Amino acid sequence: MEMTFQPILEKSNNNPIVIAGPCSAESEEQVLSTAKELAKDDRVDLFRAGIWKPRTRPNSFEGVGVIGLKWLKRVKEETGLKTTTEVAKRDHVFEALKYNVDVLWLGARTTVNPFSVQEVADALEGVDIPVIIKNPINPDLKLWIGAIERIYKAGIKRIAVIHRGFSHHGQTKYRNVPRWEIPIELKRLYPDLPIICDNSHICGRRDILQQVAQKALDLNFDGMMTEVHPDPDNAWSDAKQQIVPKVFSDMLTELVLRKESFDDPMFVNKLEHLRHEIDEIDDELINILSQRMKISEAIGEYKKENNIAILQTNRWSEILERSVAKGKAQNLSEDFMNVIWMAIHQESINHQVRIMNAKSEEKIK
């Protein structure tokens, strides 16, 4: 679907869009004090606070509800900061509009569900308000685009997206892995769609917030959303990832806006694609090497059973010669092939020796 977007905010400079505020609105005092601190930093464009919180498990704090909208209204009146909150249902939209929230956002758990997105889109029909759409929890670009299309079809042109990382199996240093190639592909498809990085939900921890924000800017993202709380350790949701306003301002100051060689978005995107390809190939290389070692181990067992020495010089010379010749034919230098194959051979021998020793120990027992 053809889409052209308009800016979600009018900015007098080219600086990134900066959205900050607590994960959840907890009390009038907490909302107002955070906003007042943030308003002192003129780089902050939008004040965020979750009023309705989609929690993974029931019995967690699910947001203060409509009363929080009154606090956001006070934020606007008393600090001049524009406000944004998450909406997931028809009623959320109507309530937020009643209290003049400036920008609405769809959370990751909403984007993932076309029924919910459509419900919000229907409620927005005929309303002129900027909407920011977070990526779905799972790394599905089509689902993300689908949500953008549904909101766009409701007549909303002021749209931005938020990259907040993706759910994953296994351990990583992130709460939600970034999979940068996905937002980059979205940017390639829709160059005028602003992309904002939510480093808080990507990281899930404070110590790598800066590095992820910098990476986003190096990739030419258009802004960032960060969770800021006056007393992060005691926050009612997402305590581990929130930072105090002062730390947030310091983070902004330390960010390098654009690195010289990274000025051209197409260059950056292309580079990121190529780097991703390299990572994939490296993963494959590691898999293949590990498979090779497993075969060496099988050979080791076989040699042991038949009482044959591990190193058979003829065979090794044959392998090396064959590999160097094949490498040369593919533009890999002789020196390089020698070094790599010696290392591979040594590792194979180590694996075989390990197998033989293990077998001997078994016998001794």
- Binding-site ranges for Mn ion (CB under 5 A): 23, 238
Residues 33-52, one symbol each (x = binds ligand PEP by CB under 6 A, - = not), give: -----------------x--
| C-beta closer to ligand PEP: residue 84 or 269 | 84
Q: Which stretch binds ligand PEP (CB under 6 A): 72-80, 104-112, 263-271, 281-289?
A: 104-112
Q: Which stretch binds ligand PEP (CB under 6 A): 29-37, 106-114, 246-254, 301-309?
A: 106-114
Specify the residue for token string 């800066």: 210
| C-beta closer to ligand PEP: residue 54 or 265 | 54
Q: Which stretch binds ligand PEP (CB under 6 A): 26-34, 105-113, 312-320, 326-334?
A: 105-113
With CB atoms as reference, the residue minimizing the distance to ligand PEP is 107
CA-closest candidate to residue 198, choices 181, 216, 186: 216
| C-beta closer to Mn ion: residue 107 or 300 | 107
Q: Burial, 46: exposed, middle or buried (Cβ in 10 Å; 0-12, 13-18, 19+)?
A: buried
CB of 303 to Mn ion, least distance (A): 58
**Considering only residues 82, 150, 164, 187, which one is a binding residue for ligand PEP as defined by CB under 6 A?**
164
CB of 249 to ligand PEP, least distance (A): 20
Residue 259 to residue 262: CA distance in whole angstroms: 5
**Considering only residues 20, 51, 108, 195, which one is a binding residue for ligand PEP as defined by CB under 6 A?**
108
| C-beta closer to ligand PEP: residue 23 or 217 | 23
Q: Which stretch binds ligand PEP (CB under 6 A): 37-45, 101-109, 115-123, 185-193?
A: 101-109
Does residue 107 interact with ligand PEP by CB under 6 A? yes
**Considering only residues 82, 134, 163, 229, which one is a binding residue for ligand PEP as defined by CB under 6 A?**
134
Of residues 54-93, those binding ligand PEP (CB under 6 A) = 54
| C-beta closer to ligand PEP: residue 25 or 252 | 25
Angle between helices 90-98 and 114-124 (to 10 degrees): 30
Query: If contact means CB under 5 to 8 A according to the sort of partner, which of Mn ion, ligand PEP, none does residue 43 touch?
Result: none
CA-closest candidate to residue 161, choices 185, 126, 177: 185
| C-beta closer to ligand PEP: residue 16 or 107 | 107
Does residue 163 interact with ligand PEP by CB under 6 A? no
| C-beta closer to ligand PEP: residue 116 or 210 | 116
Does residue 201 interact with ligand PEP by CB under 6 A? yes
Three state DSSP letters for the chain: CCCCCCCCCCCCCCCCEEEEECCECCCHHHHHHHHHHHHCCCCCCEEECECCCCCCCCCCCCCCCCHHHHHHHHHHHHHCCEEEEECCCHHHHHHHHHCCCCEEEECHHHHCCHHHHHHHHHHHCCCCCCEEEECCCCCCHHHHHHHHHHHHHCCCCCEEEEECCECCCCCCCCCCECCCHHHHHHHHHCCCCCEEEEHHHHHCCCCCHHHHHHHHHHCCCCEEEEEECCCHHHCCCCHHHCECHHHHHHHHHHCCCCCHHHCCHHHHHHHHHHHHHHHHHHHHHHHHHHHHHHHHHHHHHHHHHCCCCCCCHHHHHHHHHHHHHHHHHCCCCHHHHHHHHHHHHHHHHHHHHHHHHHHHHHHHC
Query: If contact means CB under 5 to 8 A according to the sort of partner, which of Mn ion, ligand PEP, none does residue 107 touch?
Result: ligand PEP
| C-beta closer to ligand PEP: residue 213 or 355 | 213
**Using CB under 6 A as the criterion, which residues of the chain lie in contact with ligand PEP when the complex forms?**
23, 50, 54, 107-109, 134, 164, 198, 201
